Amino acid sequence: MRHDDDTDIHYKMLVLAKQHLCRAGVTGRLKFTLPPIVFESLKLLKKVRRMEISTAAAATTTVVPADKEEKEGDEKTDEDEKEGDKKEEEKGDEEGEATEEKEKEGEEAKEKEETEKEPAAEVVPSPVFNKKINCRKIFVFIQKTIAMLSLTDPEASFKLNLEAAIAADRCAVLAAAASSTTDQSTTTTTTTDYSAISYEFIAQAFQLYEDEISESKAQQRSIELVVGTLLSCKTFEKDDYEALITKTAQYAAKLLKKPDQCRMVTLCSHLFFTGVDANDKQTYRNPQRVLECLQRALKIADACSMASSANVQLFVEILEHYVYYFEKDNPVISDKFVSGLVALIKEHMESIGFSSSADQMVFAETQGHYRQILRYLQKKKEESESSEKFANVVC
C-alpha cells in the first residue's frame, strides 16, 4: 500500500482508499480489502505517536549559558593589565603610584561587579505538534473501519478490535513514560485517554463475540485471543481490568463443549495472577479467584472423564497450571493441592480402559506429558534453591 512521509497526507490517502473500496459496491470483498487499511493505519499511528512524544520531550524551555571562554578571556586580560600596571608602578614616581592605585581599585570593583552578574542565557522557544492528524483521530478512523468490516466478517473484526486495543495500550505506556520526564500539558492525549480507548475496543470485541460468533471452535479461539490481549495490556484501571477479566471468565464457563470449558477456564486463571512479582507496579493478583478457576476446571474434567477415559489428559493439563502457581508463590496453592492432584491422576491412569485405538494414542501422549511433569517436580526437589519449597510434594 502506498504511503507518504507527511503523516497528514498519508492519512488522507488511507481515507480515500477506504472510500473508494466502499463505493465499489462489492461488499463481499471488504473482508479482504479493509484489514490492510486497518494495519496500515496502525503503522501510521506508531509514526504519529513518536512525533507527539518527541515534540513533548523537546517542549521544555531550554536555557543555554553564555560562552565560558569569553569570561575566561576577560579574566586573562585583566591579569595581563595588572602585571603591566605593576611594572609601571615600580618605575613611576609617587604621583604615578597614586594614579595606578586608583586604577587598580577601579579594576577590582569592575571585576567584582561582573562576577556578581548572572551569565547571559538564550531561551529556545518550545516546539509545537503542528500536524492536523493526531493519534486520537487515527483511532476514530480505525474504529469506523473495523465497524464496517464487522458487517461481512465478524471474526476478523473481532481480532482487529483486539489489535487496536493493544496499540492504544502501547500509546498509554509511552504517554506515561513521556509524562514522567516532561510536562503532561504538552501532550495531546493522556495515559487515561488511551486506556479508555483500549477499553472501548475490547468492549466492541465482546459485543461482536456475543452477537456474531456462535461456532464452538471460533468461540474458543476468541477467548484465547482475549486472554492474550488482556495479559498484554498494562495500563487499565483496576476496576476496568476486573470487569474485563470477569466477563472473559464467564464466556469461558459458558462454552458448549465441556473439554473446551475446562481448558478455557483454566487459561482464564492467569488473568487473576499477573506480573513478574508482587512488587511489580503492573501486577494484579487475586489468589482466591485463581483457586476458584482451577477447582471449577477440575469439576468439569471429572465430568468429562466419566464420558471418556481419554479426557484424563485434562487433569494433566490442570496439574501443570497448579505446579506453575505453586512455583510462583500463589499463597492459596499449597503442596497439598499438587500432591493430591498427582495421586488423583495416578488413580485414573491405573483404572483407565480403551474403547478404541484413538483413545489409546491419546492416552500414550497424556502419559508422556504426565511423566514429564513428574520429572520436573523431582528435579525441583533435588535443586538446592527449590528443594525446601518442593520437599513436601509427593510425586
pLDDT digits (tens, 9 = 90+) for 286-317: 999 999 999 999 999 999 988 887 789 999 99
Label residue 121 by pLDDT band (50, 70, 90). very low
Contacts 24+ apart (CB under 8 A), 7-14: 7/44, 7/47, 7/48, 7/51, 7/131, 7/133, 8/131, 8/132, 8/133, 10/44, 11/44, 11/133, 11/137, 11/138, 11/141, 14/40, 14/41, 14/44, 14/141
Percentage of the chain exceeding pLDDT 70: 75
- CATH 1.25.40.660 maps onto the chain at 1-55+131-256, 260-395
- Most confident segment among 127-141, 295-309, 321-335: 321-335
CATH number of 260-395: 1.25.40.660
Cα dihedral sign, 106-107-112-113: positive
pLDDT at 97 over 60: no
pLDDT at 66 over 60: no
Task: Please indicate whether residue 321 or residue 29 has the higher confidence score (pLDDT).
Answer: 321
pLDDT at 114 over 60: no
Q: Among 3.40.50.9100, 1.25.40.660, 3.40.50.20, 3.90.650.10, name the CATH number for the domain at 1-55+131-256.
A: 1.25.40.660
- Do 264 and 252 touch, CB atoms closer than 8 A? yes
pTM, to two decimals: 0.80
Count the Cβ atoms, other than its own, within 10 Å of residue 276. 9
Task: Please indicate whether residue 357 or residue 182 has the higher confidence score (pLDDT).
Answer: 357
What value does the mean pLDDT of the chain take? 84
Label residue 395 by pLDDT band (50, 70, 90). confident
Mean pLDDT, range 37-46, rounded to an integer: 96
pLDDT at 167 over 70: yes
Give the pLDDT score at 186: 47
Label residue 21 by pLDDT band (50, 70, 90). confident
pLDDT digits (tens, 9 = 90+) for 239-278: 999 999 999 999 999 999 999 999 999 999 999 999 876 6
Distance CA 184, CA 194 (A): 14
pLDDT at 142 over 60: yes
pLDDT at 138 over 80: yes
